[in-house]
Amino acid sequence: MNVAKAPSIPAFVGRALASPPPAVAGLAAGWLAFCLLVWGYGASPRAMAVLVFEGTWGTTYGAGQVLFKATPLLFTGIAVDLALRGGLFNIGAEGQLAVASLVAGVVGSRLPAGTPGIVAVPITLAFAMSAGALWALVPALMRSRFGAHEVISTIMMNRIADGVVGLALGAGLALTGTVRTADVVAGAHLTPLEAIHSGFRGSAASVALVLGVLTVVVVFASYRRTRFGRELGLVGLNARAMAAEGVPVASRLTQALVVSGALAGAASLGTVLGYKGYFEEGLGAGAGFTGLAVALLGRGSAIGLVLAALLFGTLQQGGLAVNAHVPKELMDVLQGVVICALALADARIRAHLRGRA
Amino acid sequence: MGEELARATVVAKAYGDCVAVRTATCIFRAGEIQAVCGENGAGKSTLLKMVAGMIVPDAGEVVVRGTKLLPHTPREAIARGVAMVLQHFALVPVFTALENVVLGAEPRTGFGTVDWATARARLERVTARLGMHFPLDVPVSELGVGDRQRLEIARALYRDAQLVILDEPTAVLTKVEANALYAALRALADEGKGIVVVTHKMDEVRAHADVVTVMRRGELVFTRTLDRSADVAAQVDEVTAGIMGAVHGGRGARAASHEAPAVGETVLEVRGVSLGRALDGIDLELRAGEIVGIAGVEGNGQHELVGVLAGELAPDRGAVKGARTSVVREDRQHDGLVLDADLRDNLVLGELGDLRGKLGTLDLGAIEGEAEKRLAASGANADLDRTARSLSGGNQQKIVVARALARLESTRARRARVLVASQPTRGVDLAAAADIHERLREAAREGAGVLVLSADLDELRSLASRILVIARGRLVAAFGPDVSDEEIGRHMLGLSAEERSPTEAA
C-alpha cells in the first residue's frame, strides 16, 4: 500500500505546478519578471515596487490615472471575452478600436456646435460602435463563408486598420498639417470625474469608467439571461450539439464577432470622448491587445474582468512612476510576460490552439 | 487454465468524490475469452484502462507477466503485449487504414524512411489470419464502424498484443458482424492470446465467454468460469443477478408484450428519397402510435436518413412530407449533449427561444421549471447543477431522450409528432435500456410516430411492430417482430437480393 501511495504525492504536486490557476500563474510570472528586470537595471526591486505603488494607488491622483488607463481596457476586455465565449479569439480589438476612434472623432466634430450631450454622445457612440462592428464583420464573414481562421484575419485587419486610419487622416479628415481630427463638439465631451468629486482632481478619468463597468456587468448578465449570450456559450462548448438542436451556429458566431467589434469600438468613449476630445493617430493604441490579457485574466466573472482591467491599468500607470529610474517599457515587457503565462496556464486556450474542428 | 498474462491487484481509482473503482483484483489469462459485465458506471472501463496503462491507479498495482507495470503508461503496456481497443475509436480519420496501423510503430528501411512494403505485408498477414477484409488504402473516415473496429483489433495484433482488451466491441455491430467478431476472437484465444471483452449483452456472454467477471458500483462482485457442460443459461442468469444486485430479478429486456398499436393518421411520409451514394430511393410511411424499426449494418445510409428526416440534409431526389420531427442522435457525446454545460442547459438545449419573458430576456424561472420537469421525467438520478460529463452513459442517454420526448408534448405550440431515435440504447446498461424502451413505447401510445434505428435486433423486436432493413441506402425488406436473426441478417448483408425474383425486386 505504501509503495503505491508514495509516487502519487509528487505526481499531485507536479500536476499542481504544471497547471496552477491561470491568475496565480500570470501574477507570479509577472512579479518574477519585474524583479529580474529591475535588478538587471541595477535598481532595487523593492524600492521600485514602492514607487509603483505610490505612483498608482498611493495617491488620489495616481488612483485616478489608473482608473483612466483602465477605462478602455474594460471595453476591449469584455469585447474579447464575449468572442471567447463562443470559442473565437478576437485579436482584432486593436484595429476595431482604431477605426471606431477615428469615426468618433470625425462624427463628434461634425455635429452642430450646440448639440446637447444627451444627443451628441449616443450619436457619436453609435457611429463608433458601428465602425468597430463593421471592421469585425469582415473577418466574421470570411470565417462563416470561407472558413478563414479568425485569429489570422483579425490580426491582418489590425494592420489594415493602421494603414486605413493613417490614409484617411491624410486624405482630409485631419486638421491640415496634423494627424488629429478637429475637436468634438462640447456636448460630446464626457464629464470628467474631477468635476463630480474633488478627490479626482487632475485625473483624466471620466464617466466613461462608469459606463465601462456597467457594460461589463450587463454583458455578463446577458451570458445567462439572453438567448444570444447563453447559446453563444453553449456553442463555444459544443457547436455540433447546438447545430443538431437547430441553433444557427454560424450566425451566432458571426454575431459574436460583430458585437465584439462594437464593444471594442465603444472603448473610444474612454479615449476620444472621455479624454482628448479629438482623435489623433495612435490614440488608444495597445488597448486592444491588452484587452486580450484582461479577458484571459478576468474570465468567468464581471468582478474578475474589472479587477483585471484595474491591474493592467496599474501596470501602465506604474511604468510612468518608475520611468526616472528604469525605462517604462519595462512595464510593457511585464504585460507580455503576464499574457504568455496566462496563455500557458489556461487549459481552455491550450485546447483551443491545439485545433478546432 | 491458461498462463497468467496480467493481473490487477487491489486497484482503486477515484475522480474527486466520484469513486470509479473502489477495489478490484482480477487476473487475465491466455487462451480465454473473458467477459467483463456490469451496469454503466460500474467501473469496468476504468479497471481495464488501468490494466492497459491508460489510467494510473490511486492504489494497488498492475502486474504484467510477472512484473509490475512501470512506468504506468499505454506505451509500456503495449510493449509488454497488452492492448486495449476503446469504445470511442482512436484512429486518425484522414490517414488510411495502413497508416493508422503503423502509426507509432513504423518499420524503417535502411534509409530511415517508413518501410511500407514490410508494414503492408505484416498487416495483411494479421488480417488474413483474422479473416478480415477491409481496404487498407482508403482514409479511415470512409470506413464503416465495423471496419474501424476490425482495424483497431488488427492494430493491436500488429503490435504483437498477447492480451487484447475490447471495450464494448459489439455495441456498434449487427448480430452477424458480432458473431464474426467472436469467431475471430475465439481463433485468437485458441492461438494462446488472452481476450477481454466488456459487454452488456448476456446472450454474447452465454454464447462466447469462458470466464465472466461481474462489477457493480466500483466493486468486483465475482469472477467465475462458465461450465459449458452444465446449464449455461442458469449460470448466466446468476451473472445477470450479480450485475443488477438485488434490485432486478429477471431479464428485463424482453418484458414487452406486443399489444397491437392503435395506429392513427400518417405523420411521416418519405417518397423516393435519394442522397448521393448514401440513400437510394427510400420509401417509408409512419403512422401515429406505431413504432417502426430500421435494422442495418452501420454505414448503410442510416446516418444520412436521420439527417434528411431532421431536415439538415436536403435529398437530391424525392420528398419528405409530414409533421415536425424530434431526433435522438446516435452520438450522444458529440451531437446530443454539451458535456461541460449543466443539465439545466442540456435539457432545454436549442429551445431558449421559446423560454423568453416579456422583455425578450430569458425567463430563468421557466427554464428552471422546464428543466426540473424533464429531469424528473427522464428518470436520471442527478441534479440540475451537474455537468452532463459527470453522468454515466446511461444517465446521459436518459437526458437526451427526455429532451427529445418533451418536443412531443401535446401542449407545445410547435409540437413534434415524429420521434426518430438512432441507437437509443447504445452502450447503455440493461436497466437504463429497459427504462428508455418504456419511454419510447409511451411516446407512441400518446400519439407520436416513432422510428427506431438500431443495430440491436433484440431491441427492435421488443419495440417495433414492423422492422425494415436498410442495406446500401435502400430499404430492402420488411418484417414483423417475430422474424429470426438469421433471416434479418441475410437481408442486412444484402445476400438475399439475388434470391428474390425480378418482379419482387422491382
Residue-wise pLDDT for A248-293, tens only, equals 999 999 999 999 999 999 999 989 998 888 898 888 888 999 998 8
ipTM given for this complex: 0.81
Q: Using the beta-carbon criterion (under 8 Å), do A225 and B364 form an inter-chain contact?
A: yes
pLDDT greater than 90 at residue B179:
no
Report whether B205 contacts B239 (CB < 8 A): yes
Q: Calculate mean pLDDT across residues B397-417.
A: 86
| Residue B125 vs residue A230, higher pLDDT | A230
Would you say residue B33 has pLDDT above 60? yes
B197 and B35 Cβ atoms separated by less than 8 Å? yes
pLDDT (0 to 100) of residue A161: 94
- Asked if A231's CB is within 8 angstroms of B335's CB, the reply is no
B356-379 core/surface letters (b: 16 or more CB in 10 A; e: else): beeeeebbeeebeebbeebbebbb
pLDDT in tens, A75-121: 999 999 999 999 999 999 999 999 999 999 999 988 888 888 888 89
Compute the distance between CA of residue A232 and CA of residue A100 in angstroms, rounded to an integer. Answer: 25
What pLDDT is stored for residue A12 in this prediction? 53
CA dihedral for B67, B73, B78, B83, sign (positive or negative): positive
Q: Are B338 and A241 within 8 A, CB to CB? A: yes
A169-192 residue pLDDT tens: 888 888 888 888 888 888 888 888
% helix / strand / coil in chain B, to the nearest 5?
A: 35, 25, 40
Question: Does residue B502 surpass a pLDDT of 50?
Answer: no
Of A225, A233, A240, the CB nearest to B335: A240
Interhelix angle A227-237/A60-85, nearest 10 degrees:
70
- DSSP 3-state assignment of A183? coil
Radius of gyration of chain A (CA): 22
**CB-CB contact of A201 with A194 (8 Å):** yes
Closest CA to A69 of A304, A335, A281: A335
Q: Comparing A18 with B67, which gets the higher pLDDT?
A: B67
Q: Does B337 touch chain A (CB under 8 A)?
A: yes
Smallest CA-to-CA distance from A80 within A68, A67, A89 is with A89
Please name the amino acid found at residue A297: L
Distance, CA of B43 to CA of B22 (rounded, Å): 9
How does strand B59-64 pair with strand B4-15?
antiparallel
B326: nearest CA partner in chain A: A245
- Residue in chain B closest to A245 (alpha carbons) equals B350
Distance from CA of B357 to the nearest CA of A (A): 10
Q: Is the pLDDT of residue A37 over 70?
A: yes
Please give the pLDDT value at position A356.
Answer: 42
Give the closest of A8, A226, A241 to B349, CB-based: A241
On the question of pLDDT at B35 being above 90, the answer is: yes
How many inter-chain contacts (A to B, CB under 8 Å) are there? Answer: 64
**Position B213 pLDDT exceeds 60:** yes
B421 Cβ neighbours under 8 A, 6+ residues apart:
B327, B328, B401, B404, B440, B450, B451, B452, B453
**Rounded-to-integer distance, Cα A180 and Cα A280, Å:** 4
Q: Are B397 and A261 in contact (CB under 8 A)?
A: no
Taking 80 as the threshold, does the pLDDT of residue B401 lie above it?
yes
pLDDT at B87: 73
Model pLDDT for residues B430-476, shown as the tens digit of each residue: 788 889 999 999 999 988 999 999 877 888 988 999 999 998 889 99
pLDDT confidence of residue B20: 82
Q: Using the beta-carbon criterion (under 8 Å), do B335 and A241 form an inter-chain contact?
A: yes
The H helix count followed by the E strand count for chain A is 17, 0
Q: Give residue A25's pLDDT.
A: 78
SS3 string of B316-350? CEEEEEECCEEEECCCHHHHHCCCCCEHHHHHCCC
Lowest mean pLDDT among A337-341, B241-245, B271-275, B448-452: B241-245
- Under the banding of pLDDT at 50, 70 and 90, the label for residue A152 is very high
Q: Are A92 and A132 in contact (CB under 8 A)?
A: no
Residue A320 C-alpha cell reads as 510612468
Taking each helix axis from N to C end, the angle separating A287-298 and A60-85, rounded to the nearest 10 degrees, works out to 80
d(CA B11, CA B395) in angstroms, rounded, equals: 26
* Residue B485: pLDDT over 80: no
Q: What are phi and psi of A14, to 5 degrees?
A: -60, -45
B194-198 vs B18-29, strand pairing mode: unpaired
- pLDDT band at residue B259 using 50, 70 and 90 as cut-offs: low
Q: Does B310 touch chain A (CB under 8 A)?
A: yes
pLDDT at A197 over 60: yes
**Of A98-102, B242-246, B263-267, which one has max mean pLDDT?**
A98-102
Query: What are the respective helix, strand and coil percentages of chain A, to the nearest 5?
Result: 75, 0, 25
DSSP-assigned letter for residue B300: S
**CA nearest A185: which of A111, A106, A268, A125?**
A111
Check B338 against A11: CB less than 8 A apart.
no
Burial class of residue B319 (count of CB atoms within 10 Å of its CB; 0-12, 13-18, 19+): exposed
Give residue B249's pLDDT band: very low, low, confident or very high (50, 70, 90): very low
Question: A105 CB contacts (<8 Å, ≥6 apart)?
Answer: A173, A180, A181, A182, A184, A272, A278, A279, A280
**Could you tell me which chain B residue has the CA closest to the CA of A246?**
B350
Give the lowest-confidence range in B122-131, B289-298, B299-308, B356-365.
B122-131
Euclidean distance between CA atoms A289 and A319, whole angstroms: 17
Question: Which amino acid is present at A7?
Answer: P
Residues in chain A: 357
**Residue A178 C-alpha from the chain's centroid:** 28
**Distance from C-alpha of A217 to C-alpha of A223, rounded to nearest angstrom:** 10
Average pLDDT in the B487-502 region? 59
Touching check for B336 and chain A: CB below 8 Å? yes
How close B11 comes to chain A (CA, Å)? 10
- Compute the average pLDDT of residues A142-159: 92
Task: Check whether B40 has a pLDDT greater than 70.
Answer: no
User: Who among A224, A240, A242 is closest to B350 (CB)?
Assistant: A242
| Residue pointed to by grid coordinates 503496456 | B77
In the prediction, which pLDDT does A114 show? Answer: 84
Residue B167 in 3-state DSSP? Answer: strand
Would you say B294 and B408 are in contact if contact means Cβ atoms under 8 Å apart? Answer: no
Give me the residue from A4, A231, A233 closest to B60, CB to CB. Answer: A4
What is the reported pLDDT for B64? 92
Q: What is the percent of chain A where pLDDT is above 90?
A: 45
Burial class (CB in 10 A: 0-12, 13-18, 19+), A324: exposed
Mutate to test the interface with B, among A85, A227, A252 (most CBs of B within 10 A): A227
- The angle formed by the CA atoms of residues A17, A21 and A23, to the nearest 5 degrees, is 120
Check whether A163 has a pLDDT greater than 90: yes
Residues 6+ apart with CB under 8 A from A157: A92, A95, A96, A135, A136, A138, A139
- What would the pLDDT profile of B77-117 be if each residue is shown by its tens digit? 988 999 998 877 778 888 888 888 888 777 777 787 888 88
What are the backbone dihedrals phi and psi of residue A317, each rounded to the nearest 5 degrees, phi first?
Answer: -65, -40
Cα A222 versus chain centre, distance: 19
Helix or strand holding residue B67 (H, E): strand B67-68
The 10s digit of each residue's pLDDT in A233-259 is 999 999 999 999 989 999 999 999 999
Q: Are the C-beta atoms of A259 and B394 separated by less than 8 Å?
A: no
Residue of B nearest to A249 (CA): B350
Tell whether the model's pLDDT for residue B59 goes beyond 50.
Answer: yes
3-state SS assignment for residue A239: helix
Q: Which tens digit of pLDDT belongs to each residue from A306-357?
A: 999 999 999 888 888 888 888 878 888 888 888 788 777 766 566 555 544 3
Mean pLDDT rounded to a whole number for chain B: 84
Q: What pLDDT was estimated at residue A274?
A: 86
Among A266-275, B253-262, B385-394, whose mean pLDDT is lowest?
B253-262
Give the B window 54-83 contacts with A, CB below 8 Å.
56-61
pLDDT one-digit tens code per residue, B326-357:
999 988 888 999 999 999 999 999 889 888 88
* pLDDT value of position A252: 95
| SS3 at position B388 | helix
Helix axes A329-345, A347-354, angle to 10 degrees: 80
pLDDT of amino acid A11: 56
Give residue A172's pLDDT: 83
* pLDDT greater than 60 at residue A1: no
Q: Contact at 8 Å (CB) between B374 and B404?
A: no
Using CA atoms, how far residue A270 sits from A101, A123, A192, A294, B119, in Å, is 10, 16, 10, 16, 65
